[in-house]
Each structure stands twice: as C-alpha cells, then as structure tokens.
A and B are shown apart, each in its own frame.
Chain A
Amino acid sequence: MKEAENNPIVSLIASIVSPFIMLFGLYVIFHGHYSPGGGFQGGTLLAASIILIRLAHSSHTGQLQFPSKLGTPLGSLGVFIYYGTGLAALWWGGQFLNYAFLPLAEEISLRRSWGILLVEIGVGLAVMAILVSIFDDLLEEENHD
C-alpha cells in the first residue's frame, strides 16, 4: 500500500467520525434484543471504524489503535466465547447451546436473553477482528515486518 499522504482534513474528519461509528457498533450489538441488529452488523461497524483510521492516518497510528497481531487471536476468542456458552450449558446439565440451563438469572426467559447477549458479543468480536485482519493481510506489503 502506498503510504497515505497526511491530508489534515481527511485525518481530522476520520478521527472525529471514527469514535461515533465505534459507539454505534457497540449500540447495535448490545441493543440487538430490541432493535434490528446483532453481532454481525455491530462487528462490521466496529471493523469499519478501525479500518477508517487505518486508511486516513499513517499505518503506524492504526497499529497503535489495533495491532495487526491481535486479529487472529481475537477472532478465535470470539468463536471460543460462542462455543464456551454452548459448552457451559452442557456443563450445567442441559443440551449444547440451550441457554435455559445457564445460571445467570432466576427466570428462564431472562437466562435465555443473557445467553443471546453473550453469543452476540462473541460474534461481534470475531467479525470485527477477522475483518480487520483480512484488511491487514491484503494491504500489508512493505510497511512493517
């Protein structure tokens, strides 16, 4: 990738907009019970905010925000959270991915709601990390390493 010219207008606007995109992504993940959204959409928004910084600033700044080493481990962690939720239900005596057996709340419907939230967090983390890591894999040529 050609080193981005440090255009002050572009980098300023990107720095202003990026946190709001990230906030909206978190909102979409955590509000998935009540409005359209969920892990996939929220994770994509988080990845968009990180990639925007990488495009607008020098590659060094992007690495400070989210090191490209972290991509694959965080993605694996997200998938592990999903599998872990299912296995935890198995551990407490239910079927795989049956959230009614997770000891998170008294009511069964609330337990299922918490289980859905956990799973969505895992999906969002995995989607964000994998998208950023694919972006890095495609564009990282002679910048670092």
Chain B
Amino acid sequence: MKERRLRIIDYSLLLIFLALLIYASLGLSPRGDLNSWVNREESVVHSPNAAAYYIRHAYHDTHSPNMVTAILADYRGYDTLGEETVILTAGIICFLLLRRKRRKNKKDNNKEIKAENERSRK
C-alpha cells in the first residue's frame, strides 16, 4: 500500500516536470529567427556575439565545412581537452579500483587456503 502511494507520488512528480519543460520550451524563439537574442550579432550588453562570428568565419578559418567540428576542436579546444582528460581519468580510476580489489581478494583467498591446509595437516 505504501509502495503504491510512493509510486503515485513519483509519477505525478514526473508529469509535473514534463509539463514544466513543455511550458519552458514554448518560450523559446523559433529556429532561425533573426530577431532573437541568440542570433543577433550583438548581445544584450552590446558586445559581439560568438555564434555570429562562428557562422561567418568558421569555413575561412579552418577549411572545414562542418562548423560543429571546427568549434569543438579549434575554437573550443580547451573544452575538448578537458573532456578527454576526464575520460582518461575515469578509465584509470576503474582500472585502479576494480583490479586492485580483485588482486587483494585473490591474495586473501590464497592465504585462507594455505591456513586451512596447515590446519588439516595438524
């Protein structure tokens, strides 16, 4: 009974968040709208907007028609560098945690087996 009540609360929370997300997405400007703040050449505080610069200069700067690659690997190279370092760190942490534990377990097992053998000899 209690579980069922909890489940009802879970699903109603999910539905509320779905409704919130749909409501928030209604406020987005339509794609390609030249007057929305994202697509203007100047931001709200009258500084030049990065997106417009990328669209204008990406091909001439990097000679690659795929703007996403140019932004990810060239303009925002530091970001991708950080991502790759995170992946390497995750791999090394998996290696250290899982392999070390197993080796330890194996050693402990060996010790126990030896101790049992000695006991049986006695």
B-side contacts of A78, CB under 8 Å:
84, 88
User: Chain B: which residue is nearest A105 at the CB level?
Assistant: B63
Question: Which of the four size classes fits the interface of chain A?
Answer: 35 or more
Asked if A122 is at the interface (CB within 8 A of a chain B CB), the reply is yes
Bound-complex Cα distance A78 to B59 (A): 26
Asked if B91 is at the interface (CB within 8 A of a chain A CB), the reply is yes
Which of A32, A79, A112 is close to B63, meaning CB atoms less than 8 Å apart?
A112
Interface residues of B in 67-108 (CB under 8 A from A): 68-70, 72-74, 77-78, 80-81, 83-85, 87-88, 90-92, 94-95, 98-99, 102
Given A86-B81, A115-B74, 19 additional A-B pairs, CB 8 A: A32-B66, A33-B65, A34-B64, A37-B69, A39-B73, A71-B95, A72-B95, A75-B87, A75-B88, A76-B88, A97-B77, A97-B78, A97-B81, A109-B61, A120-B69, A123-B84, A126-B84, A127-B84, A130-B87
Interface residues, chain A, with chain B CB atoms under 8 Å away: 32-40, 71-72, 75-76, 78-79, 82-83, 86, 97, 99, 107, 109-110, 112-113, 115-116, 119-120, 122-123, 126-127, 129-130, 133-134, 137-138, 141
